[in-house]
Amino acid sequence: MILLRIVSKSEGKIEEIAETLLRERLIMDVNIKRDLERAEMVNDKLILTPVYLLTAKTRATLFDAIDQLLNDLYPGHMPEVYAIPIMQMDWKQAQSLTRDVQSVSKRARLKKLLRRVSGGGRSKS
């Protein structure tokens, strides 16, 4: 199991991603953190940029499918996506949580979704 993390400067994009991943049962749940700032040094000057963070628990085997879906949805405007492995948790709770998340054997459904998204003329904000 992994903790999926997606960062974007667009609150709307984060909300759209959360809804899509939940609707397609690719993640178990979502936390959206607002009012965050990313600090970076640019030309020896501290620059603060507002960002939005989505975190979600999912199966590690679904990361590549989620990454591909996001690349198809947001070509040229891909949010930052990475995962942190969940090394320990209450594993009885984990079994309960993963019950409703797709397994790798449902790749046909993912491929259908990718075809629908890439041909559906969806906004690429």
Torsion of CA 118, 123, 124, 125, to 10 degrees: -160
State which H helix or E strand residue 12 sits in: helix 11-23
**Residues 31-37: what's their mean pLDDT?**
96
Predicted confidence band of residue 1 (pLDDT cuts 50, 70, 90):
confident
pLDDT tens, residue by residue, 44-88: 999 999 999 999 999 899 999 999 999 999 999 999 999 999 888
Q: Say whether 105 sits in a helix, a strand or coil.
A: helix
- Domain 2-119 fold: Alpha-Beta Plaits (3.30.70)
For the entire predicted model, the pTM comes to: 0.76
Alpha helices, DSSP H, located in 35-100: 63-73, 91-98
pLDDT tens, residue by residue, 94-115: 676 666 676 654 555 666 666 6
